[in-house]
Structure 1
Amino acid sequence: MSTFASSDPKTALMNQVRQEAAVQNARQLVEKLNEHCFERCIPKPGSSLSKGEETCFSQCMEKYMGAWNTVSRQYIGRIQKEAGSMGGTSL
């Protein structure tokens, strides 16, 4: 019973760190989307988007997010593999 109690704060802290990392990741993704897709697809912002701008932005976002997710999965897999080989805990 004491083992569970002693690991509970550690688990809570790890969960909090994971959540904060996820929020930071989302912020970074939105920032990169704005930098890359907005500047590429909407060269002269106005009061509304043209159909072409909407299509370009939507396709750019889908491609960028797909690439982002692929890289993230590979990175997490690599970290988990390295942590496992060193006897550490997985993410």
Structure 2
Amino acid sequence: MVSNPAKEVIILGTTQSGRTFRPSDWAERLAGVMSQFRPGGPQPGSHLGYSPWCVPNSRDGVRCVVVHRDLRDYNVMAWDFCMNFAKDNDLQVLQGNPPA
């Protein structure tokens, strides 16, 4: 489990051994599943946009998902789902700020 007090965790689409994670749209799929977890709870149509707590992005050309720690405060099972996704797929997890 992640123990750094950084506000965000970045799940990179690169495995611990340096291989590119597939499928190429994995970040959008993960963020799409997490779209209902948002400030104020799910609203009609909220499935049409990403949660501000779990957003697909890229870092140096590598797909990633930026997961904000507020998600853990809102729903620890949703947070665990994201962290276990990274662990189960042997993905690199970084602490800190999102990609610029």
> TM-score under structure 1 normalisation?
0.30
More contact order relative to length (CA 8 Å, sep ≥ 6): 2
More helix by share: 1
> TM-score under structure 2 normalisation?
0.29
